[in-house]
Structure 1
Amino acid sequence: MKTIIIEDEKLAADRLNRLIMKVSPDVTVVAILRSVEEAVNYLQSHTPDLILLDIHLSDGSSFEIFDQIHVTSPIIFTTAYHEYALKAFKVNSIDYLLKPIDEVALSAALDKLRQLKTESNASPMGEIEALISMMKKQEISYRQRFLVAFGNKIKTIKTAEVAYIFAADRAVFLVDREGCRYVLDETLDHLQEAVDPNGFFRVNRAFLVGIDAIEQMHSYSRSRIKIELNPPCPKECIVSTERTPDFKGWLSR
């Protein structure tokens, strides 16, 4: 099964590729594309057996692809959409992978696609145009606030007040714009999917940085970027080599 991955984050695409090789050796990833433009150019002359498609790409929404070309390949979306939207995928026989993607979900999605093809001897994409039209009218529901412990009290912090989130000493900390630090009972992987990617960027395994918290940036060794945060952080914040190209693209959106 010749498959393409359309995903603008290199780490996510590489991880998905490794998962595919692990759970389904009969699936071959023949291309990894990172933008609407790349996807349109590729699909004009190629018809893969399967497309694994991220909803948000570096140059816009993946739904823009379908405005420009007619796609007949089955699609499994990778998404952070909330539950009511995910149910629509199920109803229309189009599967999804909720980030962060795991082996079990990926294997089940591929098995479902094989079963659909076997039963109908056709692509399970007959209603994709209607689904895409519906999804364009929906908006992703990003996290609006955080619930944190404050001494022996509990308080909420609006996402707009969050400067950055980082992991240290086996804990995850939220730092607000005033420099106050709170412990969160969530992983950075989960938080990365919960916040608006236009406002926050995962610069490395330990930091999820808000764009307004970036005070200064400096060139660093091995093509990395060192970030000075405001409020300051005791932990050094350096954009990893792998994430630097995506980080630069994010800054220039």
Structure 2
Amino acid sequence: MNVVIVEDESLAADRLEELLKEVDPSVRVTARLGSVESAAAWLSAHTPDLLFLDIQLSDGLSFAIFDRADVRCPVIFTTAYDQYAIRAFTVNSIDYLLKPVGPEELRRALTKYRSLAPGRSPALDELLRYVNAKEPSYKERFLIRFGETMRTVRSADIAYFYALEKGVFAATAEKKHYPVDQTLDALETALDPKRFFRINRKMIVAYDAIAAMVPYSRSRIRLTLTPEEPRGIEALVSVERSAAFKEWMDK
């Protein structure tokens, strides 16, 4: 059985490959890919027997792969988060595994795979219909501690989020900076992707906050933001996210 792993964390990919060989020695991992862009390119030219697909990749959510490539194999989704509500679409076929994936969960998922007829799984078709048809709901406001009191800040009023030292902060157009009790990974999935984009490991920016863009070294892009980012934070689009960022800006 030829398997492809799409996972942007090498340690997680190593562990999954080891587990696969432990659970089913007949498994052969033919490719390991780490981004939406590389996975879409590979899957446009190849069709494995089974695809293990992490949901959050370095350059965006893996659902975008299905917009760029005709995926003709069954898929097992993996993620560290349970808020994607995909399990309802695993109709007697492919599973949705929460990390860290254990051997028993993996064994059950492979058993489901073997019960399928050749071709794309019904679960994947149902999932794609769900993703394309459902009107998503995104976070509209944040409850913020402000001194001894609390207040709400609308997502529409936030220019960018950034991670600094051990905290995550929201910066508003009025140059206010508030601590946020969420990780950037969690924020990336909670925010409207039409309005916000994760440009690197430390920053998520709002479209309306981008005043200018200039090319930078190694295919990166430097942004000028309003308001200006604080000391210690650079508004640089990473190499891995540059292509997806350009697509986002061009929509």
Q: TM-score normalised to the size of structure 1?
A: 0.73
In structure 2, do the counterparts of structure 1 residues 109 and 210 end up closer, same or farther at CA, with 3 Å as the change threshold? Answer: farther
In structure 2, do the counterparts of structure 1 residues 154 and 195 end up closer, same or farther at CA, with 3 Å as the change threshold? Answer: same
**Letter of the 2:8 counterpart:** D
In structure 2, do the counterparts of structure 1 residues 232 and 200 end up closer, same or farther at CA, with 3 Å as the change threshold? Answer: same
* C-alpha displacement of 1:245: 2.9
Q: Which residue of 1 aligns with 2:53?
A: 52
For the 8 Å contact 1:89–1:96, the answer to whether it is kept is no
**Letter of the 1:158 counterpart:** R
For the 8 Å contact 2:89–2:123, the answer to whether it is kept is no
Cα separation, 1, equivalents of 2:144 and 2:183? 14
Cα separation, 1, equivalents of 2:8 and 2:65? 20
Q: Which residue of 1 aligns with 2:25?
A: none
**Letter of the 1:28 counterpart:** V
**Letter of the 1:248 counterpart:** K
Q: Which residue of 1 aligns with 2:77?
A: 77
For the 8 Å contact 1:36–1:57, the answer to whether it is kept is no
The SS at the match of 2:239 is coil
Q: Which residue of 2 aligns with 1:177?
A: 173
Q: Which residue of 2 aligns with 1:150?
A: 146
Q: Which residue of 2 aligns with 1:248?
A: 246
The SS at the match of 1:62 is helix
For the 8 Å contact 1:63–1:136, the answer to whether it is kept is no
Cα separation, 2, equivalents of 1:146 and 1:107? 38
Which residue of 53, 58, 62 corresponds with 2:66?
62
**Letter of the 1:183 counterpart:** P
* C-alpha displacement of 1:152: 1.9
* C-alpha displacement of 1:207: 0.9
Q: Which residue of 2 aligns with 1:159?
A: 155
Matched, 1:42 2:45: yes
In structure 2, do the counterparts of structure 1 residues 225 and 129 end up closer, same or farther at CA, with 3 Å as the change threshold? Answer: closer
Q: Which moved more, 1:121-130 or 1:206-215?
A: 121-130
For the 8 Å contact 1:147–1:155, the answer to whether it is kept is yes
Q: Which residue of 1 aligns with 2:24?
A: none
Which residue of 10, 14, 22 corresponds with 2:8?
14
In structure 2, do the counterparts of structure 1 residues 92 and 41 end up closer, same or farther at CA, with 3 Å as the change threshold? Answer: same
Identity of aligned residues (%): 34
1:216-253 C-alpha deviation (Å, 9 max, x unpaired): 22233333222211011223322223333332232223
Cα separation, 1, equivalents of 2:123 and 2:151? 45
In structure 2, do the counterparts of structure 1 residues 97 and 239 end up closer, same or farther at CA, with 3 Å as the change threshold? Answer: farther
* C-alpha displacement of 1:175: 0.8
* C-alpha displacement of 1:53: 6.9
* C-alpha displacement of 1:113: 1.9
* C-alpha displacement of 1:199: 1.8
1:57-86 C-alpha deviation (Å, 9 max, x unpaired): 799572786xx67x3x32123578846x33
1:193-221 C-alpha deviation (Å, 9 max, x unpaired): 21122222221221111111111222333
- Map 1:54-133 to 2 at 5 A: 54=55, 62=66, 71=72, 73-77=73-77, 82=83, 85-96=85-96, 102=99, 104-105=100-101, 110-117=106-113, 120=115, 125-126=121-122, 128-133=124-129
The SS at the match of 1:203 is strand
List gaps (5 residues or longer) in structure 2.
22-27
* C-alpha displacement of 1:40: 6.9
**Letter of the 2:111 counterpart:** Q
The SS at the match of 1:111 is helix
Q: Which residue of 2 aligns with 1:139?
A: 135
Cα separation, 1, equivalents of 2:62 and 2:17? 28
For the 8 Å contact 2:90–2:123, the answer to whether it is kept is no
The SS at the match of 1:34 is helix
